[in-house]
Amino acid sequence: MSNGAGGPSGIITRTYKSGSIIYFEGDKSEYIYILKAGKVFLTTIKLDTGEEYKEEVRQGEFFGVKSALGKYPREDTAQTVGNTTVLVLTPADFERLVLKNANVVKKMLRVFSNQLRRIVKMERSVLGETEIVNPDAELFKIGEYYYKAGVVKHAQYAYKRYMEYYPDGEKAALAMKRIRGIDAGEPAPPDIGGHDAGPAPAPPKQAEADFSFDEPDQSKEKDMIDFDDSTHEDEAPVPSRSASGGTSLSSEMDDFFADTKAPALDDFDADVTMSDSPRDLNDAADTSFGRGNYPMALEMYQKIISLNRTASPEEKKLYEKAHFDAGRCYIEMGKPKEALDLMSKVLRNFTGSPYLKPAIFHIGMIFESVNQKEKAITYYNKVLNMSPKDKLNSDALTKIKQLQGK
């Protein structure tokens, strides 16, 4: 196997004296580097605090990847310490090199997508207050837009999706009426704004009245007890994520993974160092979870639980979240019994928690995973009837349909 760095012809080796700049922040360049010998430090300015942030590249690691591939200016400055040798790759070299090992691209992709997820999350939280929208209402609006514009085929699509995902939604009756109208070939009325006073089908509010899941009831407790894991546990599907893969990589390629962590995580880095703040622990745990490292994530969520800090609302939320996410870790690790234990704690102890509904949904999933269909359906049903209606409700409906063999 011609492994990576040393191999392919045409790749240039370059040597720098100590203190040299390989590139400056803001430079435009298509080159990607691999550190062969010596030391390189990458310096970035953190977006949110303006702090300078230094990161050491380890030997065998790539750097300058994202800006080269994305064709944008460097976001960091790369400087050498001591005599240093690097390999210089064009994007084409880089592509040839990494295509030889799918695992490299895959893992790099996971790191990139985690970064993107974090940035997008931060963007949303900055926009936060102004961006509260209901996907269901917006989806319906699109249907109305097309309907008004006479593009009935597109309107039909939006209405049908609406009915599929939000069958109990506020606009369900109207959407249904529109779908029937379009099917019957009725032209769109010139003014559809106000009048739909006609005898519309079932009032959409009905679902609210049926809402009866106000406190963790006894039947749940019973479920916990007669959840028969001894016979079913073996059948529980072990998540087949091959996150551990990567056996035959050359050491150079192996090191590279560390790299995608290093220069890549620049701005908002969640260093996986252990800290005692629930918040830091939580960030690190989320990152591990995102990378598919469930045992590591679990350890950190459990640490948050053991800290037992609930004084401030934020700490309380993290404490509740840790229970829920630790449960998810167990699910991913194929340990339904432990998962159920944690999810039911959320149910019993955190009545008003935002994690209550997701926890109930996950209990459904756990029962589903051990083939206890009826119980799974019971829990999905509870989710289905909970307000406010959101995507979880429609997911629950989908699950119920699947389980009922439809």
- Footprint of another protein on this chain (CB under 8 A)? 47-51, 65-67, 69-72, 75, 95, 98-103, 105-106, 108-109, 112-113, 115-117, 119-120, 122-123, 126-127, 130, 135-136, 138-139, 141-142, 145, 153-154, 157-158, 161, 165, 241-243, 245, 267, 391, 394
Tokens of 69: 């591939």
CB of 111 to another protein, least distance (A): 9
Residue pair 67/73 in contact (Cβ under 8 Å)? The answer is yes
We find the least distance from the C-beta atom of residue 68 to another protein, in angstroms, to be 8
Q: Indicate the DSSP class of residue 23.
A: E
Residue 40 is inside which H or E element, if any?
Answer: strand 32-45
Smallest separation, CB 137 to another protein (Å): 9
Structure tokens at 244: 């551990």
Closest separation in Å from C-beta 142 to another protein: 6
Can you count the helices (H) and strands (E) in the chain?
Answer: 17, 6
Closest separation in Å from C-beta 140 to another protein: 9
Which of 227, 256 has the CB closer to another protein?
A: 256
Nearest CB to another protein, comparing residues 222 and 391: 391
Which bin fits 111, alpha (ψ -120 to 50), beta or left (φ > 0)?
A: alpha
Token pair 């690097």 is found at 86
Residues 6+ apart with CB under 8 A from 130: none
Fill in the amino acid letter for 24. F
Based on CB atoms, which residue is closest to another protein, 286 or 375? 286
Q: Which two tokens stand for residue 5?
A: 């760095």
Q: Which is nearer to another protein, 17 or 71 (CB)?
A: 71
Q: How far is the CB of 85 from another protein (least distance, A)?
A: 26
Task: State which residue, 241 or 348, has the beta carbon closest to another protein.
Answer: 241
The reply to whether omega before 354 is within 30° of 0 (cis) is: no
Q: Which is nearer to another protein, 149 or 200 (CB)?
A: 149
**Quick one: 158 or 342, whose CB is closer to another protein?**
158
Q: How far from each other are the two terminal CA atoms of the chain, in whole angstroms?
A: 50
> Contact at 8 Å (CB) between 269 and 45?
no
Q: How far is the CB of 133 from another protein (least distance, A)?
A: 8
- Beta carbons of 150 and 377 less than 8 angstroms apart: no
| Rounded Cα–Cα distance for residues 369 and 376 (Å) | 9
Angle, CA 244 vertex, CA 238 and CA 248 arms, to 5°: 135
Minimum separation from the CB atom of position 185 to another protein (A):
19
Which C-beta is closer to another protein: that of 118 or that of 382? 118
